[in-house]
């Protein structure tokens, strides 16, 4: 009887000393203390079996071409997200929902051509954004204004089109030079005569013609409103004046008729 009691005590101690099961880790990924490394696994989408305490997620060198709505599970503690070398060409406006704590995002070496401000609205804590080595010809400054905590921005090695359409981005960059990293690598690609010319070296005189000829959206709306209104007003005016002329002539002829 005493032996069984001693055996049960030893067994209980062993069970208590057994390490707790570790959180689930996505298949083939490497996980350690909140860091999940899923790089170079030929993935076509973001793994969904991620623990909510994930703080670092490496997804580089895969085949993720599109980030669909809510591509990521809820990751309230994620601080770093790395997605370079994925042939990524499209990010849905709801793709990054749930990543409010994210501080660093690497989207370099992809195929991004267009970004919208709505895409980055959930990233209220983002401090570092890497968009280098993509296919961006222009960038809406609203994308950057949607990031209130942005401190470091990388835009190097993109085929920037240095026409009048880049004026808003140039203006933002000029007022936030301290946030722009690798300034010397921010070069024009088009037009050909400005190929490899540094964007940050452009001055107000470079956009003088743009400022004189470009009209704001409000101007275009005003013209589209005034044009049809003026056309209709001119028609009514002609009808009105024609009617007055006819009445005048009729009144002018009536006295001659009564004289006869």
- Domains, the chain: 34-83+96-205 (3.80.10.10)
- DSSP characters over 176-225: TGGGEESGGG-BEEESGGGTT-BGGG--GGGGHHHHHH---HHHHHHHHH
Q: What is the reported pLDDT for 206?
A: 80
State how far the Cα of 36 lies from the Cα of 146, in Å rounded to an integer.
Answer: 28
Is pLDDT larger for residue 218 or for residue 260? 218
Q: What is the pLDDT of residues 14-39, one digit of tens each?
A: 444 443 334 579 999 999 999 999 99
Is pLDDT larger for residue 53 or for residue 230? 53
pLDDT band for 13, please (50, 70, 90 cuts): very low
pLDDT (mean) for 206-232 = 63
CA torsion through residues 48, 51, 52, 57, sign: negative
Q: What is the reported pLDDT for 218?
A: 58
Two structure tokens written together for 194: 């400005």
Q: Which residues pair with 130 in a beta bridge?
A: 106, 154
Judge whether residue 219 has pLDDT over 70: no
Q: Which residues pair with 87 in a beta bridge?
A: none
Q: What is the reported pLDDT for 232?
A: 73
State how far the Cα of 62 lies from the Cα of 91, in Å rounded to an integer.
Answer: 16
pLDDT (mean) for 55-82 = 96
Phi, psi (deg, nearest 5) at residue 168: -60, -40
Q: Pairing between strand 30-32 and 56-58?
A: unpaired
pLDDT band for 66, please (50, 70, 90 cuts): very high
Comparing 87-91, 129-133, 202-206, 242-246, the range with the smallest average pLDDT is: 242-246
Q: What is the reported pLDDT for 245?
A: 74
State how far the Cα of 125 lies from the Cα of 113, in Å rounded to an integer.
Answer: 24
Phi, psi (deg, nearest 5) at residue 112: -70, 130
End-to-end Cα distance, the chain: 148
Judge whether residue 251 has pLDDT over 70: no
Q: What is the reported pLDDT for 21?
A: 39
Task: Tell me which residue of 41, 115, 127, 24 sits closest to 81, measured CA to CA.
Answer: 127
Would you give the distance in Å from CA 118 to the centre of its chain?
Answer: 6
User: Peptide bond preceding 153: is omega within 30 degrees of 0, i.e. cis?
Assistant: no
Judge whether residue 221 has pLDDT over 70: no
Two structure tokens written together for 28: 């083939």
Comparing 3-7, 82-86, 133-137, 166-170, the range with the smallest average pLDDT is: 3-7
Judge whether residue 259 has pLDDT over 80: no
Comparing 5-14, 105-114, 183-192, 229-238, the range with the smallest average pLDDT is: 5-14
pLDDT (mean) for 156-165 = 94
Q: Which residues pair with 154 in a beta bridge?
A: 130, 181
Is pLDDT larger for residue 19 or for residue 8? 8
User: Peptide bond preceding 64: is omega within 30 degrees of 0, i.e. cis?
Assistant: no
Residue 74's SS3 state is coil
| pLDDT over 70 percentage in the chain | 77
């Amino acid at each position: 009887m005493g032996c069984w009691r001693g055996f049960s005590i030893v067994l209980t101690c062993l069970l208590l000393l057994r390490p707790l099961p570790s959180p689930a880790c996505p298949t083939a990924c490497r996980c350690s203390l909140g860091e999940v490394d899923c790089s170079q696994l030929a993935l076509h989408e973001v793994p969904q079996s991620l623990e909510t305490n994930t703080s670092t997620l490496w997804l580089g060198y895969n085949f993720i071409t599109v980030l669909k709505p809510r591509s990521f599970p809820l990751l309230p503690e994620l601080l770093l997200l790395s997605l370079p070398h994925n042939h990524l060409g499209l990010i849905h406006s709801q793709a990054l929902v749930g990543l409010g704590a994210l501080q660093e995002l690497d989207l370099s070496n992809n195929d991004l051509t267009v970004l919208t401000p709505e895409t980055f609205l959930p990233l209220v804590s983002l401090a570092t954004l890497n968009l280098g080595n993509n296919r961006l010809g222009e960038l809406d400054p609203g994308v950057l204004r949607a990031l209130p905590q942005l401190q470091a921005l990388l835009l190097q090695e993109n085929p920037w089109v240095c026409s009048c359409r880049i004026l808003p981005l140039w203006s933002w960059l000029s007022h936030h030079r301290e946030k722009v990293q690798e300034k010397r690598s921010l070069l024009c690609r088009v037009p050909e005569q400005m190929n490899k010319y540094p964007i940050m070296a452009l001055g107000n005189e470079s956009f003088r013609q743009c400022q004189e000829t470009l009209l704001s959206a409000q101007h275009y709306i005003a013209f589209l409103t005034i044009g049809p209104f003026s056309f209709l007003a001119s028609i009514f005016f002609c009808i009105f004046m024609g009617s007055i002329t006819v009445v005048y002539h009729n009144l002018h002829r009536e006295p001659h008729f009564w004289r006869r």
